[in-house]
Amino acid sequence: MGNLTYSHSKKTLVALASIMGIRMLGLFMILPVFSAAAIRFPNATPELVGLTLGIYGLTQAFFQLPLGMLSDHIGRKPVIFFGLLLLLIGSVIAARTHSI
């Protein structure tokens, strides 16, 4: 019975590690491209580009645990829908922006 628990834990760990790896891959694929392309925006400086990328990482780090705990209390679907709504709003704002 101990092997069954270990096997289940190992599968869960591999699944979670894969999800986090794919999530980080998305960020790290865009970083070099964004850094090179962002300089073409009016008034863009290397400092503003770095600040923009840093804010993204900091908000993820800051909100990941509180929103995880919130999803444990109210359920995952409302938190996921809230996150998707924020993504939609942010994407619309980013698409309409012409400077950094």
For the chain, the domains span 2-96
In the structure encoding, which two tokens stand for residue 34, read together? 């964004």
Show Cβ contacts of residue 59 under 8 Å, excluding neighbours closer than 6 positions: none
> Percentage of the chain with pLDDT > 90?
16
Residue 21: which pLDDT band, with cuts at 50, 70 and 90? Answer: confident
| 46 has a pLDDT exceeding 60 | yes
| 3 has a pLDDT exceeding 70 | no
Residue 11: which pLDDT band, with cuts at 50, 70 and 90? Answer: confident
pLDDT tens sequence across 62-87: 988 999 899 999 998 999 899 889 98
* Size of the chain in residues: 100
